[in-house]
Chain A
């Protein structure tokens, strides 16, 4: 993988284990200046350890970390700067607002330890508190604040000394959904205004998609995928990524492959017809750089929102095309779960369970219906874990 020379944060071949448990296994990352990276993954994937290594709160076993052109850690050269020497800002999941200080004292702390004059501290604390919408809370005790307000105090504290890199450790996951939504927007606006580089650690794909320009999906201490959120969303690069993002996965076997250009003049895209474990056949898009062999075991992955459940139709849809754009299959609804605007259905697709989310309707358990698959949204991925580099380069 070619690495941009100009990256602002550069992590190279980082390793960290706790006893026999390998938390980070040879991970390299690049973050461009003033951009936002989200480290996404299930709990225990190493994303928080990665963030703590960047902050200097954990000492990696090997590798190097460079921030703003300055090497802050390099195992081969024996460099390891203390957290306070790295000049960063951080927001924790628990906010870590100090209960023995007022709001202003909390926020001004980074200035105080830098020996900045009292008057200046006060002025800048007031200014940043206004930015985060807590201007009137200056002298209140930090313990009197609600969760959302403490979050803002933690944010103000992380920004007041104008660090070039701010780290967010599950910073939004303690807030209720509505507040989280709002903070996400405000963070984006703040970042545009103050121009800091940000790394978010989160297990929540919504948060990662909403905040980040670049996404690193981690699994068991390794990078599973990197790329733009929209690309990873459209075409999850690996079976793990698809599973983590909540796609339906059905075991399948490749029957034949072909290339086809949906719109004439565009480069052709590769498709495969597979036989699902329930014996049905389905066309899908090949989601990897290597074409699968005939007969190879693969996974057919479908986003829940991309399958449509419609009343039974007799129309044999689009079977006249070489590659059908839509494919219909008879299924039975086994359970429904009303989500408000949407409704989730569990479908029995010839012995395989499928989950579908679509606008709430009058369909109920026991109904025989038709499931409509859009071929370009059926993604065929290899079953075994793909090589990290292949998956990554496939996306970008």
Chain B
């Protein structure tokens, strides 16, 4: 072996084989470290009379501000509320699909996932159309049809934020629980029944505790991402002066900007995220129960009695109606109206809004183009980087793998708006500022771990001996990659690409801080237009919805899995 390694050709091959994966890891670490260090540095700087000095003043000012503590409390309320609601709803939906004989459960299984692909911002906007006080479609409908007053429904509230967040984060829990519920050894529950426990007691004391580790993992992700989500509070809380941490960061960056305060918030959030992630690693991640046994059997499907079936169907209708159907109908009605007065009037029906936002209005036309460029280029680059990272983590040096994996996964928990802030601080005095490129870099930095996790999970299923036999048969490293590994990884690459496409098409938190005139995206255009013209917003939102649903359909057609999120 040593004799051969010394030939120049061999050495080059060895170098590439080492360089590409290590390069992917390095890029990932730089993408993360750059904005975080910039944020940290900025948070510690205080300007007095044009003179910068190191100080903790930004932090102490925040800690002493009642305004900030109010935002923290509001964020906690939203995060905890959304997490609890998603867990309850996600468990029931997963249980219904995995465990009952509800008719059409193959369809329900897929339909329950749709909200996972939709834009929470658009969801929030649609729910404004549906349930804003005095002008909501629902209030109007119930008032005119049944004489019921739904005026107590006010979407502009923390309750409204929790409601919309729960609609969109329920599929996370659902995805986490579907497989454990399906694969659990049916004898675990049957033993409880035979030994005297009723159906409900068994569900509470056996089924739920057995899936609890999976549920907690999902709950942590839902908490971190929903609390850090900028979109929904922007639409539903900010207009009424209810502050949350993401909207607080946003307002500190607006004129007159206080980057020091914004950075200090960012640093605190990142610290909390890191602590929660470590906690998860330490306590929850390892506590998976061995509930699947080779000698067990699949749980039998529960035969729903008519009343139970009715309950199950009502739950499904309420969920899918609330998350998908009603918002879409509301968007269509608004988009088809030349003026929106809170109710649909066929007299004012028109397709003009669609025509205007797609062809005539330069802001929206440019936004659609920008979003597509960002989504396609961003997804492709992210998957490329993630492929090498996953290779490093699964086939590279063993030492430090766990640590690198943890570091590269960190952006999963960091709110987009905080990473966006970091790139803003880094890029504000460079030519990159106000270009699509800086948005693209921020997207990749925030979301490449999704692709990395997905591809890494696929690597686990590929026996290294498959590649070793290719090498033993005379294939070079590159040929082995090309003819053996890449074809085997293809499903994961496709699903990661489509998932990132979806995420980038709807991304708002990072973009909102980095866009400039000419680099607006669809989501940014929606925000900019939200107070100007309902019809344009709805039409543009529907165009975005079509892009997202197209990716969802492709994902189903490709029959790949999105379980590793």
Chain A residues engaging chain B, CB cutoff 8 angstroms: 52, 55-58, 82-84, 86-90, 92-96, 98-100, 109-110, 113-114, 143, 154, 157-158, 161, 167, 169-170, 173-174
A-B contact pairs, 10 of them (CB 8 A): A55-B194, A57-B300, A82-B193, A93-B295, A96-B296, A110-B195, A114-B196, A161-B195, A173-B295, A174-B295
Which 7 A-B pairs give the minimum distances between C-beta atoms?
A96-B187, A92-B187, A94-B296, A83-B193, A99-B289, A110-B195, A96-B191
* A214 and B297 alpha carbons, distance in the complex (Å): 27
Q: Binary interface profile of B, 278-290, with partner A (CB < 8 Å = 1, else 0)?
A: 0000000000011
Q: A82-B193, A99-B290, A113-B195 are in contact. List 7 more A-B contacts (CB 8 A).
A: A83-B194, A84-B197, A96-B188, A98-B191, A100-B289, A113-B198, A170-B295
CA distance A94 to B190 in the complex (A): 12
Please state if A99 and B291 are interface contacts (CB–CB under 8 Å): yes
Chain A hits for B209, CB < 8 A: 98, 100
Q: Is the CB of A100 within 8 A of B212?
A: yes
Q: Distance in Å from the Cβ of A288 to the closest Cβ of chain B?
A: 37
- Complex alpha-carbon distance, A196 and B220, angstroms: 48
Within the complex, the shortest CB–CB distance from A120 to chain B, in Å, comes to 15
- A82 touching B195 by the CB < 8 A rule? no
Q: B142 contacts which chain A residues (CB < 8 A)?
A: none
The one of B190, B197, B212, B296 in contact with A57, judged by C-beta atoms closer than 8 angstroms, is B190
Please state if A84 and B290 are interface contacts (CB–CB under 8 Å): no
B154-193 Cβ-contact flags toward A at 8 Å (1 or 0) = 0000000000000000000000000000000101101111
Interface residues of B in 182-236 (CB under 8 A from A): 185, 187-188, 190-199, 201, 206, 209-210, 212
Given A96-B188, A100-B289, A143-B290, also A113-B196 (CB < 8 A) = yes
Nearest Cβ on chain B to A284's Cβ, whole angstroms: 40
Residues of B participating in the A interface, judged by any CB pair closer than 8 Å: 185, 187-188, 190-199, 201, 206, 209-210, 212, 289-291, 293-297, 300
Are B185 and A96 in touch, CB under 8 angstroms? yes
Complex Cα distance, B486 from A71, in Å, reads 62
Bound form: Cα–Cα A111–B190 in Å = 16
Question: Which chain B residues border A84 with CB–CB below 8 Å?
Answer: 193-198
A56-B194, A143-B290, A161-B195 known; A113-B296 Cβ under 8 A: no
A157 lies within 8 A of B212 (CB) = no
A residues in contact with B195, CB < 8 Å? 84, 88-90, 109-110, 113, 157-158, 161
Instruction: State in angstroms the CA–CA spacing of A46 and B195 once bound together.
Output: 23
Residue of A55, A88, A143, A154 touching B289 (CB-CB under 8 A): A143
A170 to B190, CA, bound (A): 15
Tell me which of B196, B210, B212 has the highest count of chain A C-beta atoms within 10 A of its own C-beta.
B196
Measured CA separation A82–B296 after assembly (Å) = 22
Known contacts A92-B187, A98-B188, A113-B201; is-contact A86 B194 (Cβ 8 Å): yes
In contact, B194 and A94 (Cβ under 8 angstroms): no
CB distance from B12 to the nearest CB of A (A): 50
Q: In whole angstroms, what is the CA distance A82 to B193 when docked?
A: 8
Is B212 a contact partner of A90 (Cβ separation < 8 A)?
no
Determine whether the beta carbon of B194 is less than 8 Å from that of A100: no
Q: Residues of A contacting B196 with CB < 8 Å?
A: 84, 87, 109-110, 113-114, 161
Provide the bound-state CA to CA distance between A57 and B194, in Å: 8
A99 to B185, Cβ gap below 8 A?
no
Expressed in whole angstroms, the Cα–Cα distance for A380 and B279 within the complex equals 72
Q: Shortest Cβ distance from A121 into chain B, in angstroms?
A: 13
CA distance A89 to B192 in the complex (A): 10
Across-interface contacts of A89 in B (CB, < 8 A): 194-195
Residue on B with the closest CB to A100?
B209
Please report the C-alpha to C-alpha distance between residue A109 and residue B198 in the assembled complex, in whole angstroms: 12
Which residue on chain B has the smallest CB distance to residue A55?
Answer: B194
B192 & A109 in contact (Cβ 8 Å cutoff): yes
* Residues of chain B lying within 8 A (CB to CB) of residue A83: 190, 193-194
Task: Please measure, in the bound complex, the distance between the C-alpha atom of A84 and the C-alpha atom of B300, giving whole angstroms.
Answer: 17
**Docked CA distance A88–B191 (Å):** 10
Max chain B Cβ within 10 angstroms of own Cβ: one of A113, A161, A169 = A113
Complex Cα distance A100/B184, Å? Answer: 13
**Set of chain A residues within 8 Å of B188, measured between Cβ atoms:** 96, 98
| Alpha-carbon distance between A86 and B195 when the two chains are bound, in angstroms | 9
| Nearest neighbor of A106 in chain B, beta-carbon distance | B191
Chain A minimum-CB-distance residue to B197: A113
Which residues of A have CB within 8 Å of B293?
A: 94
Q: Which residues of A contact B201 (CB under 8 A)?
A: 113
User: Smallest Cβ distance from B21 to chain A, in angstroms?
Assistant: 36
- Docked CA distance A98–B211 (Å): 12
CA distance A56 to B210 in the complex (A): 23
Inter-chain contacts of A96 with B (CB < 8 A): 185, 187-188, 190-191, 296
Residues A90 and B191 in contact in the complex (CB < 8 Å), given A96-B296, A99-B289, A174-B295: yes
Chain A residues near B295 (CB-CB < 8 A): 93-94, 170, 173-174
Query: CA separation between A58 and B303, bound complex, in Å?
Result: 11
Collect the chain B residues with CB atoms within 8 Å of residue A94's CB.
185, 187, 293-297
A150 to chain B, nearest CB (A): 10
* A170, chain B: closest CB distance, angstroms: 8
Question: Once the chains bind, are A82 and B191 in contact (CB under 8 Å)?
Answer: no
**Which residue of chain A lies nearest to B206 when distances are taken between CB atoms in the complex?**
A98
In the bound complex, what is the Cα–Cα distance between A56 and B209 (angstroms)? 24
How far is A169 from B290 in the complex, measured between Cα atoms in Å? 20
Note all chain B residues with C-beta closer than 8 A to A110: 195-196
| A100 vs B204: C-alpha distance when bound (angstroms) | 13
**Chain A residue contacts of B210, Cβ below 8 A:** 98-100
Enumerate chain A residues within 8 angstroms of B198, measured Cβ to Cβ: 82, 84, 113
Nearest CB on B from A164, distance (A): 13
Beta-carbon nearest neighbor of B291 in chain A: A99
Q: Which residue of A lies closest to B188 (CB)?
A: A96
Q: Determine the distance from Cα of A173 to Cα of B300 in the docked complex, in whole angstroms.
A: 22
Contacts of B190 in A (CB 8 A): 52, 55, 57, 83, 90, 92, 96
Contacts of B187 in A (CB 8 A): 92-96, 169
Q: CA separation between A56 and B199, bound complex, in Å?
A: 13
Residue of A nearest to B190 (CB): A57
Which of A52, A157, A161 meets B191, CB within 8 Å?
Answer: A157
Residues of A within 8 A of B185 (CB): 94, 96
* Docked pose: A113 CA to B195 CA in angstroms: 8
Q: How far is the CB of A176 from chain B (nearest CB, A)?
A: 13
Q: In the bound complex, how far is the Cα of B195 from the Cα of A87, in angstroms?
A: 7
Q: B210 → chain A, closest Cβ, in Å?
A: 6
| Neighbouring B residues of A93 by C-beta, 8 Å | 187, 295-296
* CB proximity of B177 to chain A, nearest CB, Å: 15
Enumerate chain B residues within 8 angstroms of A86, measured Cβ to Cβ. Answer: 194
| Distance from A295 Cβ to chain B, minimum over Cβ atoms (Å) | 48
Q: Give Cα A113–Cα B206 distance, bound, in whole angstroms.
A: 12
A96→B209 CA distance, assembly (Å): 14
Contacts of B291 in A (CB 8 A): 99
A52, A86, A96, most chain B CB atoms within 10 A: A96
Measured CA separation A13–B209 after assembly (Å): 40
**Whole-angstrom distance from the CB of A171 to the nearest CB of chain B?**
11
Q: Shortest beta-carbon distance, B91 to chain A, in Å?
A: 16
Enumerate chain A residues within 8 angstroms of B290, measured Cβ to Cβ: 99, 143
Chain A neighbourhood of B297, CB < 8 A = 94
Contacts of A98 in B (CB 8 A): 188, 191-192, 206, 209-210
Contacts of A88 in B (CB 8 A): 194-195
Q: Are A92 and B191 in contact (CB under 8 A)?
A: yes
State A87–B198 Cα separation when bound (angstroms): 12
B192 touches A90 (CB 8 A): no
Q: Is the CB of B194 within 8 A of A90?
A: yes
